[in-house]
Amino acid sequence: MQAPRHLVSIDDLSIGEVQTLFEHADRFAAAPREFSDTCRGMIAASLFFEPSTRTRLSFESAMLRLGGGVLTAADMRSSSSAKGESLADTIRVVGGGYADVIVLRHSSEGAARLAAQYSPVPVINAGDGAHEHPTQTLCDLYNLHVERGKIEGLEVVLAGDLKYSRTVHSFVYALARFGANIICTPQPGFELPEYVVQRVREEFGVAPVRADVRRLGDLANESDAVYLTPQKPHQLSLFTDLSDWEVQSVDAVYMTRPQTERLENQEGGYGQYMRIQKSSMAADSLRDAVVMHPLPRRDEISEEIDNDPRSIYFKQAARGVPIRMALLASLMGKIDMGTPSGEGHRESWPVAEGENPCPNPACISRTEPRHVTPMFTLQSRTPLRAHCAYCSRELIYSYVGCSTSKHYHKPDSSGLGRISADHLVFLPDEGSAEALQYSPAGR
Ligand code: CP
C-alpha cells in the first residue's frame, strides 16, 4: 500500500503543487455545489485539541461540499484523551478505519508530525501550538493569488505578534520561497523568532535589513521594523548602508492578534497592542494594500475599516473553503496535485542516543516523550547546527558525539563533517558524554 501524503508543514507542498491547488480552488469557488461526487463515501475526522471556528468549520464544509462525511471532535477534552490516551494511540484508532483523512489541531508543537508517523491515512496540520498552520498559509497565499494575481515580488507587511503566531511562521516560509518581500512590523517584544529568520536567511537566501517604515504611518514602530527580501540580495549588496531600506508601496498588510493563550512565560505581557484604524489606512504606502487577518480578531483591526474595499479578511476566511476542498480532494487522490519537487523538504534523522536535545517545553517530543523518538534536521555542518524536526527550534548542546566511534567533538570541529547524520549524538556537557562512555576526539 502506498504511504499516505500528509500536510504537516507548508514545506510539504512545492510551488507547483500550490499553484495547481489554486487552479482547483478557482473551479471549486466558481461552482461549489457541482463537486458533490468528488469524495463521496469518504470521511474526514476533525480532531481539535484547541478551539477553532474557521479552520474546523471550513474543512468540514469543504468535505461536505465534496460529497464526503465528517466526524467531529471539536473538543478533545470530551474524548478519551481526558482519560490519558496518548495522541499516538488516538491517531492509530481514528486512522485505522474510522476516517480517510485526519485534520488535527493540537497545542503541542510538532504534534502533526508525530501524528503523521502513526497514521495510515493523510494527516493535515490544522495548527500545532505556536509552530505552524500550513492550511491557513495555503488560504492566505490563495487570497494573494486572487487579489494580486501573483505572489513573487509582492510587498507584504506582517504586523502584531510575530513571535507566537503560527500562521505568521508558515506564511513567512512560504512567502520567502515564492519570492515575496516581507516587512516585519512587530508588536515590540514579539518579533519573529530567531529560528524562523535564520531559516529563511540560510535556506531561501533572504536578506534581513532594517526597514525605514515612515511611509507606513502609525502602523509601524520604526526601531523594530525589519525588511526580509529574497528578491534583491545582489542589489542590496550594492548599497554600503542598508540600515534604512525604505518601504514604498505595500501590496498586503497581514495583521495578527495577541496570542494571549501562549503568553505564560513572557514577562510584561503585550502592553498597548498595535491597531489598524481608519487613520492608519491613510498612509501613502497603503493606498493599494489589502488588509488581511487570519481571524479571530480582537481589537487590533478597528471595525471602522470593515467596509473599506481594501479590507478582505472576511473574504479571506470564505476562500478557506475552496482551497481546503482542493487540498482534501488531492490528498485523497481524487484530483491531481502535480509532482512534488521537494524544494522545501528538510531531511530528518533520529537522535542516535542520549537525552532529548530539544529545549522547547511545548514540543511534542517533551509533552509526549513515550511515543516520540527525538529527530533533527541539519541547518549547517560547520559549525554543526541542528533543529528539532518536530518544533523547528535550534537544539541546545555543548558537544556532539559519534555513536560508532564513541568520540565527542566541539560543534565547530571540522571532524564532525565526516560523521554520518544518523550517528550524531547531542551532548549537553562533558559529564553526559562520560556517562554515555564517550571520550574526547583526538585523544
Ligand atoms: N485562522 C484560524 O485558524 O481560525 P480558527 O482558530 O477559528 O480556526
Q: Mean pLDDT, to the nearest integer, of 325-329?
A: 98
Question: Of ligand 1's atoms, which has the minimum distance to the CA of residue 55?
Answer: 8
Above 80 in pLDDT, residue 245? no
Protein residue with least CA distance to atom 6, ligand 1: 52
Helix (H) / strand (E) containing 102: strand 101-106
Tell me if the domain spanning 10-134+320-331 has CATH number 3.40.50.800: no
Whether the predicted pLDDT of 244 surpasses 70 = no
Query: Do the domains at 10-134+320-331 and 135-314 have one common CATH topology?
Result: yes
Q: Where are the domains of the chain?
A: 10-134+320-331, 135-314, 349-440
Residue 306, pLDDT > 80, answer yes
Task: Provide the greatest CA pair distance for the chain.
Answer: 72
Cα(127) to ligand 1 centroid in Å equals 9
pLDDT at 178 over 60: yes
Region 302-310 average pLDDT: 98
Atom of ligand 1 nearest to the CA of 50: 6
Instruction: Please give the grid coordinates belonging to residue 229.
Output: 527580501
pLDDT of residue 356: 95
pLDDT at 175: 96
- Residue count of the chain: 443
Neighbours of 36 (CB within 10 A): 13
Q: Which CATH class is domain 349-440?
A: mainly beta
Q: Which pLDDT score is estimated for 243?
A: 59
Residue 15: per-residue pLDDT = 94
Torsion of CA 158, 159, 163, 168, to 10 degrees: -40
CA 204 / ligand 1 centre spacing (Å): 28
CATH 3.40.50.1370 fits 135-314, yes or no: yes
pTM greater than 0.75 (yes/no)? yes
Ligand 1 pocket residue status of 324, Cβ below 6 Å? no
Out of 54, 58, 75, mutate this one to test ligand 1's pocket (max ligand atoms within 8 Å of CB): namely 54
Mean pLDDT estimate for the chain? 92
What is the model's pLDDT at position 409?
96
Of the listed 6, 24, 38, 54, which one is catalytic? 54
Is there a cis peptide before residue 296, judged by omega within 30 degrees of 0? yes
Residue 71 bridge partners (DSSP): 45
